[in-house]
Structure 1
Amino acid sequence: MSVEVVSMIITAASLLITLGGMFFAGFAWMIRRMDEKFAKVDEQFAQAEVSINARFEKVDERFDRVDQKFDRIDERINGVQTELTEVKVAVARLEGPRPRLIIPH
């Protein structure tokens, strides 16, 4: 082999090694940048999650208060219903039995 052919082979191999190193370095740079971006997005999601959870806690507290109000109203309705039944019974006792159309002999 002549010196020119050997130098061409060494030059080609050097070029391939250089291009491979550049691709590797570029890929490593891209991966590092993507990791930074993902970390930033994850942090934003975590902050948003904390904010959303706080808002849901407030909504849950409001629902609990509304449920307590409904429970009190339900108790009052049951009390009124019981009193209404007692009033019906008292009125029925005052009126006496219903008059019949046919009088038994």
Structure 2
Amino acid sequence: MSLFKSGETASAQVLKLATNSSPSTKKKIKEIHNLLLLSSMAMYTPEEALALIVDCSLSKDDIRIQRGAKKKQVNIYPSYAVIGHVTKTCYPANITISVVHILRCIYQFKIWWT
């Protein structure tokens, strides 16, 4: 069954245009298709990007992949500064730990352990 008979008229028209066109028109069709694919890609949220970095144990240098993707017009990663801001929001507020506090904990643990 043909695309047109099955109700896929838009697909049939695109296929006809693609097969009966000059090479320059075919190239333009491909460029438009690629642009549509790129525009449909969703950017990672800062939280998703942070989870990806933590889960994959990525360093700041490993994140150079994002710059490479951006050069290819695939901007799916938030900036490192945005991810850094989200990282700070993951820590509890108003909590300070001093060296004295840590030493007390170690001392109490030694007493408890022995």
TM (norm. structure 2) is 0.30
Higher-Rg structure is 1
TM (norm. structure 1) is 0.31
Q: Which has the higher helix share?
A: 1
Which structure's relative contact order is higher, taking Cα pairs within 8 Å and 6+ residues apart? 2
